[in-house]
Structure 1
Amino acid sequence: MELKTHLRDEIDWELPFPAEEYADRRQRVRAAMAKAGVDVLMLCRFPDMNWLTGYDMIHNHLRNPATLVVRADSDDTLFFDAAAHTTIVSLLPEIRDVVFFDHGPMAEPADFDIMASELAARGLAGGTIGLQFWGWGPHSSVIEALAERLRAKGANVVDASLLVETQRLYKSPREQEVVRQAAAMGDNALEAARAAMAPGMMETEIEAVMTASLMEQGCNYPAIHTMVGSGVRSGTHHSAPTHRRVKEGDLISIDFCPALHRYHVNTCRTFSIGKADDRWIDVMEKAAGSIDAILENLKIGDPLTRADEIAHAYIEKVGLKDKAWWIGGYPMGISFPPDWTGAYWNHWEEETFGPTAEKITVQPGLVFNYENQFDVWDGWPGGTGCNFIETIIVTEDGPELLSRLPRTIVPSGG
């Protein structure tokens, strides 16, 4: 099977980025490879492949054979995929050299021999080859099988799981524009949901309003299910919408991401059906200042952990520490199901399960969320918790808020 490049003449929709954007990304990755002593990089994580080629395929299973090969010494790339995806790959101008496996979408044992032989035929199997042993993608047994074949060809196989993710942390001007567009779409969806909320409405109906608004604006499905929790479920944090019908006095928490060209912007707001109990309002009004404190005090060049220091000090100062479930966040960007988080978090930990992410600093192009999550089980009317999440983008002038919506509890209705 070969590329059907003639299909590219029929592309009648706007592609997310121009060729020069992808060329710049490849150059950044190649420079990072040279610095790390990696001659060849074999990528199987969907966000990384998407960032470098625009590849967007939804069947992200444990035996997925799709792999992008990047070289430190050349801008030439090589792509492996199942023949079932010939049309998907043929419609991507950034993919020029492909080896298709003549079978369905599941990797087969012979594929690893083919991959190793193809690299050897190109003179790429004898150096240091970086594989991605960690992350959402093929099962580790699949990666180990590939590593075994490469070692048999003389390769020195190393773990390069985070090499590309680290390059993706700081967004280009074009990426920043996509992030801003996604944020605006998210605000529109929240306003649509608030206008539609009414007693008797199921949580799933609220999600339907959100999803319809986002899709009508051009968003993708997000990497995590939209979270809606009402009443006694308002403090569940990580739960999908249910058939529960909202009632007068309920709190309603909505935690979601608009995802435009796979770029995610995390936003969460707590609404109420009618007026919320004053104690909930007090918590949220006090907590809202934690974001202001970050915006005022986080400086370019600071370690990202500084955001945590600022927010935690503020929450303790206003007396909310005992109610806080989590005060924190993580960088945002390209994501695929089942998760929109990656290896990096605002609080950096040297001891991790998996590869250790680098310490990162606050620089223009960094995009990260920040969460204030509170649990209250003292019988306050309306719920068991309240929360908000903001996404912040760093510009040349410092951190900037992406949402225009208030962080306090807002009653339902137009």
Structure 2
Amino acid sequence: MTEPTFEALHQLPQRDLPFSLEEFSERLLSVRKRMADENFDMLYLTSPESMYYLTGFKACWYGAQGPSSWPQYYGIAVHRDHDKIIHIDIPAESNYIDYISIPTVDKRIIPKRADLSFIVDTLKNEGWLKGKVGMEFGSYRPNRVVSEQLQSAFLGGGSSGVVDATHILRQQRRIKSPQEIIYHETAGEILDAGYRALVNEARPGMTEMEAFGILNLGMHKAGGDQCAMPYSFASGSRAIAGGHCLPSNKVMQKGEIFGADPCGSYHQYHTNVCRVFSFGEPPKEMMDQYNLIAKAIKHVENIIRPGMSVNEFAKDMREFYKEVGIWDQRNWVGGYEMGIGFAPDWVGEWEFTLGNFTEEGSFDERTLDENFVCNFENVFSAGGAIDTLIIRDEKPLIPSFLDGSIYVIE
């Protein structure tokens, strides 16, 4: 066996992009058109989702909560009149950018972490700070202190105004391309693999953390990414109490129910399916409630269609819930946009509510457009389940071998 040479060990990995260069190019063109429509000259994008969407760059650490002496000034700049993207980052990411991002990105490495003048001079020398600049004020990255420093520096560098442009990329990302749809479907298959591992291996006497690990490992073995947040996982009274609770070292007992609310993730595209399990047969009343939830999921699949208004969908579903007698037990019934997810969140911008604890959803004439991907939460005091939908004419429900009723583990 030949020993690898020093040079071979230090070669960069081959570039591995999640989308074709053509798709990345089309995304940039579409964003530039949106910029022109709203008279933005430049966008300085700092959210992980936006950076990934336009360049393929992704990282395990974005430093948003790091030391104040390491301000997170770094991001990508897009100009409405240019077909290149400038990526400004620290030296530690230099080689990584070369193989994780599109080859056309114009990489600029900041010499010192806190050198804001480097960013201003770079953009000013390109002629990109002459007009209206948009930033993602709605992103957690960078934090408010750093965001205000960037805003002030851009104004001092010649910009005529710096305003919020969070909506530009969020609107752009809402309707999914055919390849993005495939990634959501694959994420669903990955999640199903994780759930199969869970029902095959979880046993009374394990801690919640052990079972949580089985589910995660099952997804990773199936090719899944790390999902964007540590999802809810709870058993016994913790599961009944509800809430977005983290898994604990509580020991799961025979006769208890437990629930998981994970996402499968593939190329950062997230598919959400929440299910409930029982070690042994649960009380009949509880099983009956969850059987109604399973029927509700089938009803959603049968009625939802592209172009349907939220009002139409809500009216039909409310009638179903009232007919089976659970509408008055609602906690939250609705959904939100799914798509690219990075820590700390996978919850997207576009949401709709059919009803919550105290009221029915408000009048909502927006439409559920074709190739929009969202979760749908049937959450009631006596039981609940969550699924992911692709708004399309055929097979809108991303399938799961778990139908929404309680899965009994003997």
TM-score band w.r.t. shorter chain: 0.7 to 0.9
The 5 A counterparts of 1:156-175 are 156-175=161-180
The 3 A distance-change label for structure 1 pair 319 and 142 is same
Distance 1:347 1:401 in 2: 20
Task: Give the corresponding residue for 1:183.
Answer: 188
Instruction: State the Cα deviation string for residues 185-239 of structure 1 (Å, max 9, x = none).
Output: 1011111101112211111111111111111122121111032111111132311
Secondary structure in structure 2 of the residue aligned to 1:334: coil
Query: Does residue 135 of structure 1 match 2:139?
Result: yes
Instruction: State the Cα deviation string for residues 48-72 of structure 1 (Å, max 9, x = none).
Output: 1111111111212333232111111
User: Which structure has more RCO (C-alpha within 8 Å, separation ≥ 6)?
Assistant: 1
The 3 A distance-change label for structure 1 pair 364 and 232 is same
Task: Give the corresponding residue for 1:388.
Answer: 385
Distance 1:372 1:50 in 2: 31
Task: Give the corresponding residue for 1:210.
Answer: 215
The 3 A distance-change label for structure 1 pair 359 and 58 is farther
The 5 A counterparts of 1:11-410 are 11-12=13-14, 14-62=16-64, 63-91=71-99, 92-103=101-112, 107-108=113-114, 110-111=115-116, 113-155=117-159, 156-235=161-240, 236-304=242-310, 306-347=312-353, 361-376=367-382, 386-397=383-394, 399-410=396-407
The 3 A distance-change label for structure 1 pair 345 and 404 is same
Distance 1:359 1:135 in 2: 27
Secondary structure in structure 2 of the residue aligned to 1:329: strand
Distance 2:223 2:299 in 1: 33
Distance 1:24 1:402 in 2: 30
* Aligned 8 A contact 2:185 2:398 in 1: no
* Aligned 8 A contact 1:79 1:95 in 2: no
When the two chains are superposed, the root-mean-square deviation of aligned CA atoms in Å is 2.4
Q: Alpha-carbon deviation of 1:144?
A: 1.4
Distance 2:339 2:9 in 1: 29
Instruction: State the Cα deviation string for residues 98-125 of structure 1 (Å, max 9, x = none).
Output: 221123xxx52x32x2222222211111
The 3 A distance-change label for structure 1 pair 43 and 305 is farther
Secondary structure in structure 2 of the residue aligned to 1:281: helix
Q: Alpha-carbon deviation of 1:347?
A: 3.4
Q: Alpha-carbon deviation of 1:34?
A: 1.4
* Aligned 8 A contact 2:219 2:264 in 1: yes
* Aligned 8 A contact 1:312 1:327 in 2: no
- The TM-score, its normalising length taken from structure 2, stands at 0.88
The 3 A distance-change label for structure 1 pair 57 and 7 is farther
Secondary structure in structure 2 of the residue aligned to 1:142: helix
Distance 1:150 1:277 in 2: 63
User: Which residue type is aligned with residue 233 of structure 2?
Assistant: V
User: Which residue type is aligned with residue 131 of structure 1?
Assistant: M
Task: Give the corresponding residue for 1:382.
Answer: none
* Aligned 8 A contact 1:331 1:341 in 2: yes
Gaps of 5+ in 1: 1-5, 349-357, 377-385
Runs of 4+ in 1 over 6 A off after TM superposition: 6-9
* Aligned 8 A contact 1:65 1:82 in 2: no
* Aligned 8 A contact 1:324 1:375 in 2: yes
The 3 A distance-change label for structure 1 pair 101 and 270 is same
Q: Alpha-carbon deviation of 1:10?
A: 4.4
Secondary structure in structure 1 of the residue aligned to 2:291: helix
Distance 1:93 1:258 in 2: 25
Instruction: State the Cα deviation string for residues 257-291 of structure 1 (Å, max 9, x = none).
Output: 11111111111110110101111111111122322
Task: Give the corresponding residue for 1:380.
Answer: none
Distance 1:159 1:347 in 2: 26
- The TM-score, its normalising length taken from structure 1, stands at 0.87
The 3 A distance-change label for structure 1 pair 328 and 126 is same
User: Which residue type is aligned with residue 392 of structure 2?
Assistant: T
Gaps of 5+ in 2: 1-7, 65-70, 355-363
The 3 A distance-change label for structure 1 pair 8 and 131 is farther
Q: Alpha-carbon deviation of 1:304?
A: 4.2
* Aligned 8 A contact 1:219 1:260 in 2: yes
Instruction: State the Cα deviation string for residues 300-338 of structure 1 (Å, max 9, x = none).
Output: 212346544443443233222333222111010001111
Secondary structure in structure 2 of the residue aligned to 1:199: coil
Q: Alpha-carbon deviation of 1:94?
A: 4.0
